[in-house]
Amino acid sequence: MLPAHNEVHCILQDSEGYIWFGTDNGVSRFDGYTFRNFGAREGLKDNVVFELLEGTAVLHLDEYHERY
């Protein structure tokens, strides 16, 4: 689920089919079944995300998730 008290600022579906949400509490990735949330504890500089682009930033988050 998206973190509580979220305001969604942007949505992106990437080339692998994941749906990403930029929110007031970081980034959430939906794989069609569950949400995975990324915030300051996972390395974001700021929890407020207004724009998502497929490329380095999204891949970096995905690679972080895959390593751990």
Strand arrangement of the beta sheet that strand 8-13 belongs to: 8-13, 19-23, 26-30, 35-38
| pLDDT value for 41 | 86
More confident: 18 or 1 = 18
**27, 47 Cβ separation under 8 angstroms:** no
How many C-beta neighbours within 10 Å does residue 52 have?
Answer: 19
Per-residue pLDDT reduced to its tens digit, 35-62: 999 988 888 888 888 888 887 554 445 4
Burial class (CB in 10 A: 0-12, 13-18, 19+), 36: middle
Domains of the chain by residue range: 8-67
Per-residue pLDDT reduced to its tens digit, 12-25: 999 899 999 998 88
